[in-house]
Amino acid sequence: MAGRDGKKQKIRNMVLSMAVVIPVAWVSYLFIPHDAGKDPVRPIGYQVELDAARRAAPYAVAAPQGLGKDWRATSVRYEPQTKMGSVWHLGFLDPQTQYVGIEQSNGSPAVFVDDATQQAEKTDKTVQAGGLTWQRYEGSKYNALVHEGSGVTTVVTGTATFERLTEMAAALKAEKAKSPEGTPSGAASATPAG
């Protein structure tokens, strides 16, 4: 009998504790401010990574200049040795919060383009942007603009419209960092190498 009373007492204490805790938690939740409408995307700075990539890469590394503040950088990386060569990536959200990525590599263009565009198909259409001719690719996941220069392939890809992809391609400036002696350590150009 004593065992049953002990179990009943434990259950009763647990129920009473929950009766106190649940209302307190609910009231606390109601009075804590929530930013449900706040944008969860945090823009990043990429200048340090861009400078490092421009010193290390065997090609002139492309990044946009002059885009509006409504373009937000969200990802950046430079990988000097991959199966696709030296790879530069810079990701953005456009003003309509669609993804636009800048991808560059000095590896095999066919393999790199297929990977960067998520298997988008080459079309017979081209676009003029930033003084270069870009090949249009269309896909179920990403669309893309591709420029194959001498020694480097540049891809502007993503879920954004071709208008936005073209805007990004036109804003790209490819540069190679200067060596410590003050002379360029590689080619510099106003647009992606080509």
In this structure, what token pair is assigned to residue 101? 């990525």
On whether the CB atoms of residues 125 and 164 are closer than 8 A, the answer is no
**The pLDDT value given to residue 189:** 45
> What integer best gives the mean pLDDT of the chain?
86
On whether the CB atoms of residues 144 and 117 are closer than 8 A, the answer is yes
Rounded to an integer, what distance in angstroms lies between the CA atom of residue 146 and that of residue 163? 14
On whether the CB atoms of residues 163 and 129 are closer than 8 A, the answer is no
Give the Å distances, CA to CA, from 56 to 16, 86, 150, 183. Answer: 65, 9, 18, 15
Out of 36-50, 85-99, 150-164, pick the least confident: 36-50
Q: Which amino acid is at 177?
A: A
Give this prediction's pTM: 0.74
| pLDDT band at 117; cut points 50, 70, 90 | very high
Give the Å distances, CA to CA, from 127 to 123, 130, 163, 193. Answer: 11, 10, 10, 16
Q: Which comes out higher in pLDDT, residue 3 or 58?
A: 58
- Averaged pLDDT, 146-167: 96
